[in-house]
Amino acid sequence: MTDKKIQLSVIAAGLLVLVIFACLAVFSVSLAFIKAASITGSLASIIIIVLTAKGKKESPEENRMLGLSYQDQGLLDKAFEKYQDLPPDDDSRELIYSLGLEYENKDQLNDALKVYLYLARKGGFKDVKERVRRLKSSSRTTAASGLVGGNEATIMPNPGEKVRTRIGRYEILGVLGKGSMGLVYKAQDPKINRLVAIKTIRFSDEFDEDVVQEIKERFFREAEIAGQLSHPSIVTIHDVGEDEDLTYMAMEFLEGEDLDNFITRKSLLSFRRVLDVVVKVADALDYAHKANVIHRDIKPANVMLLKNGNVKVTDFGIAKAISSSRTKTGVILGTPNYMSPEQIMGQKIDARSDLFSLGVLFFQLITGELPFHGDNLSGLLYQITQIKHPSPRSYNPKIPQICEQILDKALAKDPVKRFKSAAEMSRVVNSLGQRIDQIRIQKSSIIVKGTE
């Protein structure tokens, strides 16, 4: 393309000889270069520059640029990191202050407070003191951090997950704990001034994108069915909804503890109390089964023991919504410890599957041990499906024989050999309790207890 140009240039410049000499000189140099250099690349013109400049450690100015870019990209925590490396002058304080304002705008009040506190420690800036005071007194920061305080490691939100002040129409008062799939909040319904517990699930974090929508729909469908259950031992569901990418379920707020707190040898409830709990759970299951709802995930964490002595079963139907869905990491959600053999084998399940799970829970509540163990998942699954559970009396000889028979029936591998219904199981366990009560009245000196 440049042949014409060469001629033009030669005529125009009148420097034919000079050009040729220059060309030849550089031509030979470039030939040598091409031969010598291992990588010559696509040389596009005489003013090609191939860069070889080497980077160096960041200067303050570079840190500032990095910080600004992070802030630009909304990565405020990274920006804060970079700004802290800057010399502590008014310029850097201004930058950090602007981060605080941005956190406040984004409603990440705990982060805003952290930034202002940093500035306050470094000698203060503008109205930082005032902002710290205001944020500290705000119920939204203190409630959350106060409740989180004691048990920080287990229930801190994931990094990057903002501490929310509102989910749907509910005002968050604090964090109650971490559920299997997300945080559980204590909140207030401003409409009717009622306290609620809000279970949150970030489906997008747990499942592959392509199945999220499907699971969500199933979740809402199941929640709707479960929401129609009304029983003294079943947690009432008030509402389900979505807020941004968070799916939530607003439930009756309960003061109490779940049974996870009573399943080790050192923390067992009294034997008589366990019978009560099992009867109440069985009654709740019987009610649900008659409404054609199978719980599918009976386990200690899903049974609450209230301060007033009542028992509440939570999470009806949720297991169905999320089961048989591949999660992101490919693991089974939750534990298979309480699953029935037919559930593990992927067979069609009915109400009797819940009775098996209740049997496992019963066993654990009186012995402090699980009936089925395994060094790994496949070992555990093998035990549940193939191996008979040990006698509970081998752990605690005080357990009456009749109780062992009840467990044998509940934990039968074949559903046909189990109790026919939750009502039947409830009746049998209840009669055992009543017999114990009678014996107590007759011989007040004999007390049958679990290992307390």
Partner 1 sequence: MQIKSSGITDVGLKREGNEDAFSVEDALGLYIVADGMGGHLAGEIASRIAVDVINKAFRKWSVQDVGEHEIFGSPDTSLSLKGNYILGGIRLANRIIYELALEKKDFHGMGTTMAILLVTPSLVIAANVGDSRIYLVRDGEIERLSRDHSVVAEQVELGMMTEEEAESSPLRHVLTRNLGSSEDVVPDIFEIEPNNNDLFILCSDGLTDLVSDDELLSMSEEEPEPGRLCRRLVDEVLDRGAHDNTTVISVSLSDIVRSKGGFFQRLGYMLGDALFSIQKRARKIIR
Binding site for partner 1 (CB under 8 A): 1-3, 5-6, 8-9, 12-13, 15, 19, 22-23, 26-27, 30-31, 34, 38-56, 61-62, 65-66, 69-70, 72-73, 75, 78
Write the DSSP string, 124-136: --TTHHHHHHHHH
Taking the complex as a whole, the smallest distance from the CB of residue 54 to partner 1 amounts, in Å, to 7
Dist. CA 15–CA 19, nearest whole Å: 6
How many CB atoms within 10 Å of residue 37?
10
Write the DSSP string, 52-96: -PPP-SPPHHHHHHHHHHHHHTT-HHHHHHHHHTS-SSHHHHHHH
**Cβ-based neighbours of 381, under 8 Å, separated by 6 or more:** 336, 344, 374
Taking the complex as a whole, the smallest distance from the CB of residue 213 to partner 1 amounts, in Å, to 15
The C-alpha R_g of the chain, in whole angstroms, comes to 34
Contact 366, 359 (CB under 8 A): no
**183 - beta bridge partners?**
178
Dist. CA 352–CA 295, nearest whole Å: 11
Taking the complex as a whole, the smallest distance from the CB of residue 210 to partner 1 amounts, in Å, to 8
Q: In what order do the strands lie in the sheet with 311-313?
A: 256-258, 303-306, 311-313
**241 - beta bridge partners?**
248
Dist. CA 117–CA 127, nearest whole Å: 12
Side chain identity at 367, as an amino acid letter? T
Taking the complex as a whole, the smallest distance from the CB of residue 330 to partner 1 amounts, in Å, to 13
297 is catalytic: yes
Identified catalytic residue from 286, 297, 315, 354: 297
Contact 194, 171 (CB under 8 A): no
Nearer to partner 1, 34 or 306 (CB): 34
Taking the complex as a whole, the smallest distance from the CB of residue 226 to partner 1 amounts, in Å, to 32
Nearer to partner 1, 77 or 242 (CB): 77
Nearer to partner 1, 6 or 447 (CB): 6
Nearer to partner 1, 32 or 439 (CB): 32
**189 - beta bridge partners?**
194
Report how far apart, in Å, the C-alpha atoms of 361 and of each of 180, 323, 349 are: 18, 20, 18
Nearer to partner 1, 56 or 121 (CB): 56
Taking the complex as a whole, the smallest distance from the CB of residue 43 to partner 1 amounts, in Å, to 6
How deeply is 116 buried, as exposed, middle or buried, from its count of CB atoms within 10 A (0-12, 13-18, 19+)?
A: buried
Nearer to partner 1, 158 or 261 (CB): 158
Nearer to partner 1, 66 or 381 (CB): 66
Contact 301, 180 (CB under 8 A): yes
Chain-centroid distance of CA 37 in Å reads 56
**Cβ-based neighbours of 345, under 8 Å, separated by 6 or more:** 385
Nearer to partner 1, 67 or 392 (CB): 67
Taking the complex as a whole, the smallest distance from the CB of residue 244 to partner 1 amounts, in Å, to 17
Taking the complex as a whole, the smallest distance from the CB of residue 156 to partner 1 amounts, in Å, to 17
Side chain identity at 80, as an amino acid letter? F
Could you list the active site residues?
A: 297
